[in-house]
A = this chain, B = another copy of it.
Amino acid sequence: MTQIPSPETLQRMASVVGPQGMLSAEADKAPYLKEWRGLWTGETPIVLRPQSTDEVSRLLTIAHDTETVIVPQSGNTGLVGGQIPNNGEVLLSLDRMTRIINVDATDFTLTTEAGATLKSIQDAAESVDRLFPLSLASEGTCRIGGNLSTNAGGLNVLAYGNTRDLCLGLEVVLADGRVLNMLKTLRKDNTGYDLKNMFIGAEGTLGIITAASLKLVPRPRRYDTILVAVPNPAAALDLLSAARDASGNRVLAFELIPEIGVQFTVKHMHTRRAVETLAPWYVLFEMADVAEGVADTVLEAALESGSVLDGVTAQSETQRRELWALRENMSESQKFEGGSIKHDVSVPVSKLPQFIAEATTAVETFMPGVRVCCFGHMGDGNMHFNVSQPIGMDKQAYLAKWHAMNRVVHDIVMKLDGSFSAEHGIGILKREDMQRYKSAIELDVMRSLKHVLDPKNILSPGRVLP
């Protein structure tokens, strides 16, 4: 258990950030201590809110000196518990470091402090007629430092990659307070080891990201947004290949949706059922800047081959929004159906049909009456394999089966050369999976890295590594 920092240590830290930069009253700290799905609630002696990289550096120098544990927090939208401090862990929030330092339309780059919300970065890019293509449900609240630290994915990975792929440079404060400035905006730079990517996806355990340079792309001028009914996931894969090919790789998103998910959103979120044909599965996909007629050609060929049963194309931005609402309301709608045990997994794209079939059978065997709502980023092989409780079962009794059901699903995922955490990371939720599924050599190299960069184990200890 972490030692509570001494009053002297807390006083030294407080003097770095000043009265405006710290919170110690319970009511003020509360919003930082509650995970938004309600799975974790933490405690901390103090919330530190530095205003500059220099302040972060001075805080970590003190922490290193005094062996005080620091838990960095970004927008507090993480789904694996890593951002919630416990016991004596000091919370360090970057929510006052929100300045967008530079936007350059010619360079297609943006440089920002780590506390800027994803939405503010998207807006800054749009203000110079560019797109920052990272897009996910929490974009109004999450902050880029957290997106980077968890290598966030989201809706448009198929076209633009994960957050890692969108990052050109980083500024990181190391565990001992030294500042590693790698804030370049270069497309090519082969000068020594790639330090940047060590910190991306490390969930704040190797250093604290304080600023980043990001790639921008041209803003799409025209979208084709299409919802289709398909007979099965294999047919959806045929459609994906055909669409990628015909569009010259301009498929931005390709989302699989199950009939039960449509029922949930229609019932609870009052979303309109946009395709009349009832089918076991649907796909919502979007292409950008392809020539007029390409979408129709793809759709007609798919209808003819039978890989698509019916389809509707958005004829306006309003209709486009309406189609997307069906997908975007999917997570929220499940809350009305009682407990939901989540799996954020990926497999090679070609193995998705096998994964869905095997995992569905396995959880239905594990607990008869569960309702599988498997949806998500088919183009990336990434499914949110969510399992709603049997109707009438006690919610807490159901959620108590979380890890046991995870085991059933993750064993299948790993058999298929997949990942037990595609997007959300490890945090504290999936540490045991790391132990079970990662090779001893991988874990050993990861521990060596942690030891080199944080020898006193003061940055979010107990997260990521088992």
Q: Please give the residue numbers on chain A whose beta carbons come within 8 Å of chain B beta carbons, in ascending order.
A: 104-109, 129, 150-151, 153, 157-158, 161-162, 164-165, 174, 178-182, 184-195, 197-198, 200-202, 206, 217-221, 237, 241, 244-245, 247-250, 288-292, 346-350, 377, 379-382, 417-426, 430, 433-434, 437-439, 441-443, 445-446, 448-450, 452-453, 464-465
Contacts and interface: CB of A to CB of B under 8 A. Distances in A.
B190 A421 contact: yes
Contacts of A445: 174, 180, 195, 453
B380 A178 contact: no
B190 A424 contact: yes
6 contacts: A162-B188, A174-B445, A180-B441, A188-B422, A190-B425, A197-B197
B465 A192 contact: yes
Nearest to A196: B197
A106 B186 contact: no
Contacts of A464: 192-193
B441 A452 contact: no
A299 to B, nearest CB: 18
B426 A248 contact: no
Contacts of A241: 105-106
Given A188-B422, A194-B164, A202-B193, A350 B237 contact: no
Contact of A245 (B206, B218, B381): B218
A445 B452 CA distance: 9
B446 A186 contact: no
Contacts of A453: 445, 448
A354 to B, nearest CB: 12
A198 B198 CA distance: 7
A182 B445 CA distance: 12
A438 B192 contact: yes
A175 to B, nearest CB: 11
Contacts of A178: 441
Nearest to A169: B417
B181 A439 contact: yes
